[in-house]
C-alpha cells in the first residue's frame, strides 16, 4: 500500500515537472509572433496534463469528483465558446476578464482555507492571506478594467481625498489580515471583512485610472494573478501551481515594466497620478491648423511614394480596419512601394494589440517592426500613414517639456516627408492631449472611420494607374 502511494505521488510530481517545462517552453515561444501559436498549444498541453493528473489523484469522494468535473466542463465550455466568438477588437477586455478569473480562483482557494481555520502554522496562514489579498485585488480590478474597455464604465471616478480613502481601505484590510493570523481560526465575519476590503481596494485603485493607461493596468493585474496563484500553490502544496504562478507573475512584472518604460512613467505614476482620462483635456501645445485632404489625393500620394510607413492605433481596432489596411498595403507593394508597419509598445489597449490584429489580417511578420527597429527609417519615408494612433506619434513628447507625455518614447512620424492621419474628427486622443503632429506643414488629415477611409484610399490607388 505504501509502495502504491509512493508510486502515485512520484507520478504526480513527475507530471507536474513536465507540465512546468511545457509552461516555460510555451511562454518562450510566445515571445515571437512566428512561434506564438505553437507556444500557446504547448502551454495549453501543460495545463491539460496538470489538470488531468490533479483530478485523477485528488483522492476526493465521488460527489466531490463529480462537482469538480462539472465545474471544469462548464468553465471550459464557456471559455471555448467565448474564445471562438470574441472579435479580435474585443481581445483586450477578454484578457482583462480572464485575468480577473485567475485572480478570483486564487482568492477562492484562500477563502476556503481561511474560513475552515486552515493550519495553526502562522506562516501557512500568512501565505494564504497574501495570495487571497492579491487575487482579490486582481479580480475586482480586472473587472473594472473590463468595464472600461467594454464601454460599460465611461468615466474615471475621481474625488478629493481619494488617495487617503484608498490608503484607509488598505490599512483596514491589512489589520483584518493580521487579526486572522493572530486568532486562527478567526471568526467568519473577520475573514469576510478581509476579502470585502481587498475587493473594494481593487475597485478603488482602478476606477480613477484612465483608459489610456489600460495596457499597463492589464499587465499589472496579469502579474498579480500569477503571484496569487503561486502563493496558493504553496498553500495547497501543489508544485504545478507554484511554478505556473511564478512564471506568469515574473513575465507579467517584466511586461508591466516594459509598458511603463514605453510611456516614460513609473508604475506609481500610472496608478496614482490620475493621468489618462478619456476625453479630458490634459494640455499640449498643438499649433497650426489641421489641413484636410481628400482620399483621392492621399491615394495618389501613397501610390507614387517609394517608401510608406504605416502606424496603426486603436482607431484601426475600433473600425476593424486591419484587413482593409493590409489590402491597401498589398496594392502599394505590387506597385513597388516599400511598406513597413511601425508598432509602438503601448499602441492599442493591451500589450501586443496591434500585432495581434495585423497577424489576423495576414500581414507578414517581416513587415512589422517595433519602435527601436523602425524609428530611424521615418526620415527616409515619403509618407507616414497614421491610422487611429495619437499619443504614440505626438512630437510634444520629444519637444515640449510642459507636455504631460514629455520624455515618452514615440514613433518619429513627424520626420517623414509627408504625413497622412486618418482620424474620425478634430478631437483629442484617448488621453485628452492635443497632438502637435496634426498641425505640422507636412501633415494632412483624412477624416472619417478608418475602414471607410482606407477603402477610399484603395480605390484611389487603383485609379492612380
Q: Which residues participate in catalysis according to the annotation?
A: 391
**CB burial string 29-54: b at 16+ within 10 A, e below:** bbeebeebeebeebbebbbebbeebb
**Which residues on adjacent β-strands are paired with residue 385?**
310, 420
The distance from CA 125 to its chain's CA centroid, rounded to whole angstroms, is 32
Residues 6+ apart with CB under 8 A from 120: 184
Residues 178, 334: Cα–Cα separation, whole Å: 67
Residue 288's φ and ψ, nearest 5 degrees, are: 85, 170
Query: What b/e readout covers 74-108, taking b as 16+ CB neighbours within 10 angstroms?
Result: eeeeeeeeeeeeeeebbbbbbbbbbbbbbbbbbbb
- Name the nearest CA neighbour of 340 among 303, 315, 366, 301: 366
**Residue 210, all three cell numbers:** 484612465
The CA R_g of the chain, rounded to the nearest whole Å, is 25
Burial of 1 (0-12, 13-18, 19+ CB in 10 A): exposed
Cβ count near 196 (within 10 Å) = 15
* Separation CA 137–CA 165 (nearest Å): 16
Amino acid at each position: 500500500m505504501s509502495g502504491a502511494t509512493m508510486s502515485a505521488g512520484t507520478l504526480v510530481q513527475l507530471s507536474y515537472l513536465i507540465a512546468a517545462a511545457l509552461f516555460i517552453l510555451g511562454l518562450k515561444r510566445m515571445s515571437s509572433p512566428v512561434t506564438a501559436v505553437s507556444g500557446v498549444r504547448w502551454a495549453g498541453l501543460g495545463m491539460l496534463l496538470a489538470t488531468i493528473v490533479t483530478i485523477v489523484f485528488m483522492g476526493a469522494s465521488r460527489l466531490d469528483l463529480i462537482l469538480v468535473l462539472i465545474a471544469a466542463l462548464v468553465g471550459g465550455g464557456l471559455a471555448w465558446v467565448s474564445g471562438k466568438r470574441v472579435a479580435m477588437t474585443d481581445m483586450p477586455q477578454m484578457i482583462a476578464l480572464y485575468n480577473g478569473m485567475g485572480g478570483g480562483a486564487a482568492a477562492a482557494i484562500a477563502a476556503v482555507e481561511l474560513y475552515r481555520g486552515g493550519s495553526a502554522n502562522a506562516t501557512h496562514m500568512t501565505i494564504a492571506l497574501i495570495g487571497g489579498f492579491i487575487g482579490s485585488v486582481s479580480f475586482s480590478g480586472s473587472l473594472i478594467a473590463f468595464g472600461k474597455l467594454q464601454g460599460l464604465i465611461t468615466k474615471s471616478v475621481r474625488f478629493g481625498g481619494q488617495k487617503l480613502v484608498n490608503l484607509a481601505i488598505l490599512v483596514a484590510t491589512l489589520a483584518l489580515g493580521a487579526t486572522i493570523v493572530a486568532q486562527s481560526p478567526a471568526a467568519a465575519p473577520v475573514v469576510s471583512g478581509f476579502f470585502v476590503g481587498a475587493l473594494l481596494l481593487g475597485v478603488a485603485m482602478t476606477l480613477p485610472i484612465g483608459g489610456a493607461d489600460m495596457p499597463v493596468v492589464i499587465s499589472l493585474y496579469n502579474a498579480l494573478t500569477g503571484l496569487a496563484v503561486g502563493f496558493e500553490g504553496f498553500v495547497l502544496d501543489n508544485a504545478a501551481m507554484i511554478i505556473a504562478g511564478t512564471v506568469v507573475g515574473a513575465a507579467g512584472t517584466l511586461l508591466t515594466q516594459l509598458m511603463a518604460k514605453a510611456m516614460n512613467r513609473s508604475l506609481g505614476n500610472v496608478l496614482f497620478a490620475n493621468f489618462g482620462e478619456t476625453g479630458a483635456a490634459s494640455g499640449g501645445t498643438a499649433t497650426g491648423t489641421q489641413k484636410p485632404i481628400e482620399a483621392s489625393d492621399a491615394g495618389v500620394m501613397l501610390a507614387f511614394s517609394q517608401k510608406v510607413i504605416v502606424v496603426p492605433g486603436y482607431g484601426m481596432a475600433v473600425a476593424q480596419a486591419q484587413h482593409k489596411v493590409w489590402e491597401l498595403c498589398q496594392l502599394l507593394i505590387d506597385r513597388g512601394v516599400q511598406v513597413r508597419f511601425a508598432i509602438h509598445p503601448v499602441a492599442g489597449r493591451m500589450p501586443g494589440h496591434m500585432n495581434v490584429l495585423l497577424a489576423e489580417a495576414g500581414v507578414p511578420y517581416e513587415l512589422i517592426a517595433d519602435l527601436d527597429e523602425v524609428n530611424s527609417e521615418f526620415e527616409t519615408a515619403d509618407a507616414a500613414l497614421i491610422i487611429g494612433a495619437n499619443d504614440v506619434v505626438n512630437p510634444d513628447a520629444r519637444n515640449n517639456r510642459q507636455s504631460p507625455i514629455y520624455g515618452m518614447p514615440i514613433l518619429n512620424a513627424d520626420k517623414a516627408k509627408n504625413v497622412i492621419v486618418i482620424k474620425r474628427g478634430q478631437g483629442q486622443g484617448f488621453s485628452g492631449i492635443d497632438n502637435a503632429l496634426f498641425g505640422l506643414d507636412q501633415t494632412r488629415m483624412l477624416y472619417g472611420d478608418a475602414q471607410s477611409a482606407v477603402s477610399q484610399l484603395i480605390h484611389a490607388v487603383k485609379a492612380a494607374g
